Structure 1
Amino acid sequence: MPLLVRLRELHRSVAPLVMAPLLVTVFSGVSYRLARDWFGASRQQVHWLMVVHEGEWLGSALEPLVVLLNAVGLLWMLITGAMLLIERWRRKVHS
């Protein structure tokens, strides 16, 4: 199987695993910031959003792992997605 086909399949299979934790991180972080800045919520009122955002609810042992996996997952999706996009552009130019 060609490398690009395998890369596309891996990209597609990893995407759902990466998307859920990233969406939780994005929505909790944005919600926290908007609640504080736009709606005048105190830190105590929205601290639970930071607990979700940072993965504190998983405990001190798993919190760094969640942060690391989020970062690695995002980098994986960006790098493989960019590689697939560049290859598509190359094919268009040569066709």
Structure 2
Amino acid sequence: MSLLVRVRELHRAVAPLVLLPLFVTVCSGVGYRLARDWLGFERDQVHWLMTLHEGEWLGSTLEPVVVLLNALGLLWMLISGAGLLIQRWRRKVH
């Protein structure tokens, strides 16, 4: 099995695992910022969004683990996705 096939399979396997955590992170971070800046909410009114965004609700032990896994998952998806896209472009040129 070629490296490209392995990367594609791993990319496909990891995608469902990182989708929900990244979606929650994006929505809570954007929601917090827009609620503060555009809707005029005070920090205390929307702090629950930042708690969700940062994984604070998981406790001090799991919070850094979840943040690290979220970051690694996003980096993997970006790097492997970019690699797969570049390979597709190369095949179309040749």
Normalization by structure 1: what TM-score?
Answer: 0.96
Query: Percentage identity across aligned positions?
Result: 79
Normalization by structure 2: what TM-score?
Answer: 0.97
Q: Secondary structure at the match of 1:70?
A: helix
Moved segments of 4+, more than 2 Å: none
CA RMSD of aligned residues (A): 0.6
Partners of 2:75 and 2:68 lie apart in 1 by 11
Q: Please list every run of 5 or more consecutive structure 2 residues that lacks an aligned counterpart in the other structure.
A: none
Superposed displacement of residue 2, structure 1: 1.3
The corresponding residue for 1:20 is 20
Partners of 2:86 and 2:21 lie apart in 1 by 27
Partners of 1:44 and 1:74 lie apart in 2 by 29
Q: Please list every run of 5 or more consecutive structure 1 residues that lacks an aligned counterpart in the other structure.
A: none
Partners of 1:30 and 1:3 lie apart in 2 by 37
Equivalent pairs counted in the alignment come to: 94
The corresponding residue for 1:53 is 53
Deviations 1:24-74 (A, max 9, x none): 000000000010011110001000000000000000001011110111000
